[in-house]
Amino acid sequence: MIFPKLNLCGNNPSKDEISLYKTYSLAGSVLIEIDKDTPVKEVLNPLLISKFSTNWVQLPKYDSADELSDVMLNILDSGASKVVISYPQPFSNDILIKKLSQFPGDRLTLLFNYKNQKETLDIINQFNPYVHAFIINSNIDVCPLAKSTNKSTSQKENFEREIYIKELTQIHAIAKKHKLIIDLKKISPTCQLITNLDELSFNLLLGSDKLAIGLYKNNKGDVTEDGKIDIGVAYSASLITDRPDNLHSTVVVDEQGVALGLAYSDAESISEAFRTRQGVYKSRSRGLWYKGLTSNSVQQLLRIDADCDKDTIRFTVHQTGTGN
C-alpha cells in the first residue's frame, strides 16, 4: 500500500497543506515530518484530532536523549498515533534503546538510511523489540521493481531484480511482523512498483513531490509529466480483483461502522473519491456515480480501508440528508 507524507518543517500549516492532509488521511495513515523549529501545538493539534486517520510524526535528531524523550512524550500526548525516531542519534544506541523502552513499542517507529544489507539487518534485529515499524530511506538510482518483466527484459535486469527481491525478502524475514515502509527517494512511483512492493510486504512512502490529486478528472492519465502519480491510482495499485470487469466490492459504513450499502469501485472512482473527499463509486451501467449529486444526500468520505486480502474495500463516510 502507499503511505502519504506531509512535510511541515518550521511552519504553521497553510490552507493548502491542511487540504492535502485531509486528502492524504483518507488513505488511513499520514507521516507528518517536523523539525526543531516547528511549533508543535500550532502545527499538530489541528491535524491530530481525527479518529479516522493514523498520524505518524517524524522527529529530527536531538543532541540530548532527554530532549528527544520529552518531545516524544509531547507528541504522543498531542494525539499522534506514533512517533518516528531518526537513526542514528548523536548519542549511543544503548541510551537510545533505554529511552525507547520507556514507551509502548506499538507507538514507535525507527527511520534509517539504507547503506548495505548487513547493516540494515543488524539495525532491524537490534531494534525489533522496541518499535512497531521501520522506515527505510533508499537512494538507489534505479529500482528493478519499477516495471514488469517481459520477453524483452535482459538477463542482467532479471538478475538485478532477483537480487533486489532477495534483499527485501531477507529484511521482511528479520523484521517479522513489523510494518515495513520504504522511501525510494530518487525513483518516480509507478503502479507496477507499488504492486511489486506490496507483494513483498513493503509500503511505499510518497510525499507531495510524488503524489498528484485528480488526474482522472483532468484527463491526464495516471502519472504527470514530472513523475507524480495520482493518489487514487496509487492506492488502487495494491488492490486485487477476480471480477472480469476489474471492479472492487466496496462496503460503505457510517462513523459507527453501521453498513449503509454495497457499491463498486475502480481506480477512476477511487481517484475521484480522493479528489472530492466524498463517496464516489463505479456503477456497472452508468460509470462514475457521485453519491447524492442529485438528491443532496452527499457522503463525506472519512477513510478508505482495504481488507486483509485487498479484494474488498471499505468506505467510512458521514452521511448527510436522507441517505437515499
Q: Are residues 266 and 226 in the same domain?
A: no
Q: How far apart are CA 268 and CA 257, in angstroms?
A: 25
Same domain, 53 and 162: yes
119 and 256, same domain (yes or no): no
> What CATH code is carried by the domain that includes residue 76?
3.20.20.70
Show which of 237, 268, 286 is a domain's final residue. 237
To the nearest 10°, the Cα dihedral for 245, 238, 217, 187?
Answer: -140
Which pLDDT value is given to residue 208? 94
- In a domain, residue 210? The reply is yes
How many domains, the chain?
2
What is the pLDDT, as a whole number, of residue 34? Answer: 86
pLDDT at position 77, please? 85
User: Minimal CA–CA distance to 263: which of 202, 212, 214, 312?
Assistant: 312
Lowest mean pLDDT among 46-55, 188-197, 274-283: 46-55
* 212 plus 260 within the same structural domain: no
Same structural domain, 145 and 276: no
N-terminal to C-terminal alpha carbon distance within the chain = 32
Is 199 a domain residue?
A: yes
Q: 41-55, 124-138, 185-199, 200-214: which range is least confident on average?
A: 41-55
Residue 312 has a pLDDT of: 97
Q: Is the pTM of this model over 0.95?
A: no
**Is the same domain home to 283 and 199?**
no
pLDDT band at 46 (very low <50, low <70, confident <90, very high): low
Domain span at residue 81 reads 2-237
Asked whether residue 279 falls in the same domain as residue 137, the answer is no
Per-residue pLDDT averaged across 271-298, rounded? Answer: 91
Same domain, 105 and 228: yes
Do the domain assignments include residue 310? yes
Q: Are 175 and 289 members of one domain?
A: no
Task: Determine the average pLDDT of the residues in 210-225.
Answer: 79
Residue 254 belongs to domain with CATH number: 3.10.20.810
Q: How far apart are CA 61 and CA 91, in angstroms?
A: 10
Same domain for 103 and 147, yes or no, is yes
Q: Answer whether residue 243 is part of any domain.
A: no
Decide if pLDDT at 42 tops 80. Answer: no
Beta strand 203-206 with 179-184 is parallel
Q: Which of 200, 217, 237 is the last residue of a domain?
A: 237
5, 47, 275 from 17: Cα distances, Å: 11, 10, 14
Helix (H), strand (E) at residue 25? none
Choose the final residue of a domain: 205, 237, 269. 237
Same domain for 92 and 22: yes
Q: Which of 53-57, 185-189, 319-323 holds the top average pLDDT?
A: 185-189
Whether 204 is in a domain gets the answer yes
User: Looking at the domain assignment, is residue 242 inside a domain?
Assistant: no
Residue 49 has pLDDT above 60, yes or no: no
User: Is 324 domain-assigned?
Assistant: no
Per the domain annotation, does 212 fall within a domain?
Answer: yes
pLDDT tens, residue by residue, 148-170 = 888 788 899 999 999 999 999 99
Residues 42 and 80 in one domain: yes
